[in-house]
Amino acid sequence: MNGSVLAGLLDTAARRGAAYWVLLDPDRVPAAELEERAALCVEAGADAILIGTSLTLLFDHSAVYQAVRRRAPVPLLTFPGTGSHVSPLADAILFLSMVSSRNPELLIGEHVRAAPRLKQCGVEVIPTAYLLIESGTLTSVQYMSGSLPIPRAKSDIAMAHALAAQFLGMKLVYLEAGSGAREPVPDAMISDVCAYCSLPVIVGGGIRDAAVARAKVAAGARCVVTGNLVEEPLRELGPRLRDLAAAVHVSG
């Protein structure tokens, strides 16, 4: 692949001031509602949809991608919890290396198992440094990964990890508080990481309202991701998503 998906994502972020991405978790979104929820995301202004989970209760995610694709004419990105989550139906995969962890499986082990499948299916691979940040509660990703999060007050640790990822040739940095986070990634940490390394920064976890989303953009986030919000009752979802998209899209 020639990097066209990543280039398009970054172009959208530059044009709109920042990009708004939505995460759909196949374990938590009812299959019968996938199409409608995906359509609401796009209508509200989502620039991309991530499909992923920390676990997976499904043997095959193909039906999930097919359902979302029918109603979501935006890039579909795999947000993998393990190498088994690779799908040829995605436009690209965030090839996550949890550089904040010391778990070798999440640094390289799962990647080795996934690499041949990715080569065969031809999905664009976007090497992404994944940094887990303390959120005030035990999140799914922390539990499943067996990883200690970076302390909220330790921006220097996040900065050093992000810079190491840049030197390793990764393309993005994802600062993650985790699904169900009590507190989002601190604005000061986002600002410090953005100033210290040249990689575009994605921020997710614990972002539930427009004011918080706008603060992440003001701190330097190139992309803002929400996940748990998409699991709210359908009748409430559209307006919430529109507010968040408008907060993230500070221009254009």
Distances (CA, A) of 193 to 23, 43, 200, 214, 251: 23, 32, 10, 17, 23
For the chain, give the percent of residues with pLDDT over 90.
76
pLDDT at 1: 40
pLDDT at 54: 66
pLDDT at 235: 84
For residue range 105-156, list pLDDT tens digits in order.
999 999 999 999 999 999 999 999 999 999 999 888 888 888 999 999 999 9
Is residue 237 predicted with pLDDT exceeding 80?
A: yes
For residue range 22-44, list pLDDT tens digits in order.
999 888 888 788 899 999 999 99
Q: Which domains, and CATH codes, for the chain?
A: 4-248 (3.20.20.390)
Structure tokens at 73: 């004419």
pTM of the model: 0.94
